[in-house]
């Protein structure tokens, strides 16, 4: 099993009109290029063995625009497409591929803006009315690792407190 969970936010949050190429490159190298080619290495071995599971941990930022960290959104949207590509390529070889799409998760990455998210959640941002924890993501990975979803390749698991739901 391979779990692509490494990721960074931009060192500087900047409006997309002011984004710097070196920060863009750093985020895409880490968040998109690294997992893509690591998956390529693991997929070759898994394909030959006739079994395996691959997980890409993306983000609600793969479909939610944040104009002050566009490079992060682009990197996560790219990973979402990578899931479809790898799932299509590897399915016939017994390798399943999944996307776990976390929402607002209490990690070091959001530490500086955690209070802002807590206020938004209290005001209805999430139907489940709580911030996610790393353990919530780990449980989704565990379900995949335990083979509970082996007939579901290419699926997106929303671990986001209901953020992805649309309602009027």
Q: Of residues 36, 72, 117, 151, which has the active-site annotation?
A: 72
Say which residues have a Cβ less than 8 Å from residue 96's Cβ, sequence separation at least 6: 52, 53, 54, 87, 90, 144, 149, 150, 152, 153
Residue 20 and residue 41: Cα distance in Å, rounded?
31
Q: Is 36 a catalytic residue?
A: no
Greatest Cα-to-Cα distance within the chain, rounded to the nearest angstrom: 50
Instruction: Tell me the catalytic residues.
Output: 72
């Amino acid at each position: 099993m391979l779990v692509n969970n490494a990721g960074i936010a931009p060192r500087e949050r900047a409006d997309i009109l002011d984004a710097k190429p070196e920060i863009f490159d750093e985020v895409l190298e880490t968040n998109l290029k690294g997992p893509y080619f690591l998956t390529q290495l693991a997929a070759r071995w898994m394909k030959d063995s006739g079994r395996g599971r691959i997980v890409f941990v993306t983000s609600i930022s793969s479909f939610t625009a944040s104009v002050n960290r566009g490079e992060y959104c682009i990197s996560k949207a790219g990973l979402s497409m990578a899931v479809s590509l790898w799932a299509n390529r590897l399915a016939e070889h017994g390798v399943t591929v999944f996307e776990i799409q976390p929402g607002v998760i209490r990690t070091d990455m959001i530490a500086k803006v955690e209070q802002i998210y807590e206020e938004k959640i209290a005001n209805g941002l999430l139907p489940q009315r709580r911030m996610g924890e790393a353990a919530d993501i780990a449980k989704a990975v565990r379900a995949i690792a335990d083979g509970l979803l082996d007939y579901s390749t290419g699926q997106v698991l929303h671990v986001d407190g209901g953020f992805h739901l649309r309602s009027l």
